[in-house]
Amino acid sequence: MSDPLHILRVSEVFGDLPEDELRAIAGMASVRRYDAGQPFIVEDEPGTSLVVIGAGEVEIVRGLNTPDERIIDENGPGALLGEMSYFVNDGLRTASVRGRTPVELVELPYQAFTTLLGARPRLAVEIVRMIAARLLQTDRITIDLLRQRNRQLAETLDALRAAQSELIAMETLEHELRLARRIQQQLLPAGAPDLPGWSLRAHWEPAAQVSGDFYDFIPSSNGGYAIVLGDVSGKGMPAALVMATTRAIIRAAAAEHSAPEEILSSVNQLLAPDMTPGTFVTCLIAHAEPDSGQLRIANAGQCLPYLRTPDATIPLKATGMPLGLLANSTYEPIETQVAHGEDVVIASDGLIEARLASGEFLGVDGVANILSRVPLTDSPIPPLLDAVAAGMRQDRDDLTIVQLSRL
């Protein structure tokens, strides 16, 4: 049986790591063998580890052992597999993998992988890029398969081929978009965390099947939480891929830093060199201390949050450059004390840019007026959503709202 260190050296992800780090990873990994045709990753089962192929060829399969079974990709030595279920909240495998030939592989538990990402956050960027490339490759394989079938049908019945081609293309696109939306929803928090002294609520509403908006609740070492709200420029699949990349980088940076401004600076330095021209990410991070009501905010181009008190609705003026534009951008934090019964409302620009029935934007003043009219004992999220729903639907943007209430 092969040495796990040898297999890791040829890995597409781990191969460039220093020798001492490779040896440390090898010490946490185990080598396994599987026969041809034997599945070792099964769709919709919980994932507990990722694998690196050392020898042999494998097939990535959707709908294993069902009438709809299809091979969406093939991989060989050096390939990293099983990483998708690590990044989604329900932790379920998104496809099955079986040996096309006898296979030898290295298995690395997720717990060990988490430790590795904490030490090398840049690795998360490379893995998310690899996931995005695989999704695009899946689309290409699916479309090529459909085209091949359509050509075969065309030899016998041209009219049927044309009609069937259009139908299959539409169904395939719907399926892939539904899968992309499912994966994206699983990247969002499954629910609000239990933060002593606070109550957290959130609403996420994509304008299309997938979204460039995201939010997250990330625990910090002192028992507090970093509340994150981000918005990628643009819409659709390109924005969704940048969203997934940015979320992974933020989580990796938050494992190293607790201050919001340090997290944003670290994320910006990683995003800026590789960001497509014209693409950027606005992002606000608010760190809530448990029990005390202390809130520290840093903002990278996101809409200003509002503090609601018994006397006024106050914009909290934390500002900064969006992420991905200038690698040397810095972010100046602000601190505020949220008293018992008060709350802070954060929203993406899909709220202020929502068009009313009159055709005018809801705007900063419109949002502030609604927040001022809602009693502090009630959540302002439903009235804000009612105002958006009553307006014009065309050109509607992704919409995310987060409310932090001090108990």
d(CA 366, CA 312): 15
- Rounded CA separation 383/133 (Å): 40
Which SS3 state, helix, strand or coil, does residue 317 take? coil
Q: Which residues contact 382 (CB under 8 A, 6 or more apart)?
A: none
- Per DSSP, the chain holds a count of helices (H) and strands (E) of 11, 18
Among left, alpha and beta (phi > 0; psi -120 to 50; other), residue 301 is: left
Residue 41: predicted pLDDT: 93
Residue 59 sits in a domain whose CATH number is: 2.60.120.10
* CATH number for 278: 3.60.40.10
Q: What is the pLDDT of residue 157?
A: 63
Half-sphere CA count of 102, side-chain side, radius 13 A: 3
For residue 246, how far is the Cα from the chain centroid? 7
Please give the helix or strand (H or E) that residue 101 lies within, else none: none
Q: Which DSSP string corresponds to 11-70?
A: -TTTTTS-HHHHHHHHHH-EEEEE-TT-EEE-TTSBP-EEEEEEES-EEEEESTTSTT-E
Q: What are phi and psi of 377, to 5 degrees?
A: -75, -10
**Domain range holding 82?**
4-123
Q: Angle at Cα 139 formed by Cα 137 and Cα 142, nearest 5°?
A: 110
* Claim to verify: residue 148 and residue 237 sit in the same structural domain: no
Give the pair of three-digit tokens for residue 369: 């007026």
Q: Do residues 140 and 108 share a domain? A: no
> For 176-188, how does the pLDDT look when each residue is reduced to its tens digit (9 = 90+)?
566 666 767 777 8
Residues 240, 172 share a domain: no
Q: Could you tell me if 401 and 344 lie in one domain?
A: yes
Q: What residues pair up with 334 in beta bridges, in sequence order? A: 297
Can you tell me the distance from the alpha carbon of 325 to that of 277, in angstroms, rounded to the nearest whole number? 8
Q: What is the pLDDT of residue 241?
A: 82
Element (H, E) at 169: helix 158-187
Say if residue 381 is in the same domain as residue 286. yes
| CB crowding 7-44: b at 16 or more within 10 Å, else e | bbbebebbeebeeeebebbbeebebebbeeeebbbbbe
Q: Does residue 173 sit in the same domain as residue 140?
A: yes
Cα distance between residue 235 and residue 407, in whole Å: 36
**Separation CA 291–CA 224 (nearest Å):** 9
d(CA 15, CA 126) in angstroms, rounded, equals 12
Q: In tens digits, what is the pLDDT along the chain, a chain of 407 residues?
A: 578 888 888 887 788 788 888 888 888 889 999 999 999 999 999 988 888 999 999 999 989 999 989 888 899 998 888 887 777 767 888 889 999 999 999 998 888 778 777 777 766 666 666 665 665 565 565 566 667 766 765 666 666 566 666 666 666 656 656 666 676 777 789 899 999 999 999 999 887 777 789 999 999 988 899 999 999 987 777 888 888 889 999 999 999 999 999 999 999 999 999 888 889 999 999 999 988 899 999 999 999 999 999 999 999 999 999 999 999 999 999 999 999 999 999 999 999 999 888 888 999 999 999 999 999 999 999 999 999 888 876 667 889 999 999 99
Q: Are 86 and 50 contacting, i.e. CB atoms less than 8 angstroms apart?
A: yes
Q: How many domains in the chain?
A: 3
Cα–Cα distance between 71 and 57 in angstroms, integer? 13
Instruction: Indicate yes or no: pTM above 0.85.
Output: no
Q: Based on the fold, state whether residues 213 and 308 are members of the same structural domain.
A: yes
Query: Do residues 166 and 255 share a domain?
Result: no
Q: Do 26 and 167 sit in the same domain of this protein?
A: no
Strand partners, 315: 306
Cα–Cα distance between 88 and 71 in angstroms, integer? 22
Same domain, 221 and 271: yes
Q: Which two tokens stand for residue 68?
A: 């709809």
Question: Are 258 and 374 within one domain?
Answer: yes
State how far the Cα of 20 lies from the Cα of 367, in Å rounded to an integer: 54
Q: Are residues 135 and 206 in the same domain?
A: no
Positive/negative CA dihedral, 74, 79, 82, 84: negative
Confidence at residue 310, expressed as pLDDT on a 0 to 100 scale = 96
Q: What is the identity of the amino acid at 180?
A: A
Question: Of 103, 123, 143, which marks where a domain is finished?
Answer: 123
Q: Give the separation between CA 158 and CA 295, rounded to whole angstroms.
A: 66
Kindly state the tokens that stand for 279.
């693409």
Residues recorded for the chain: 407
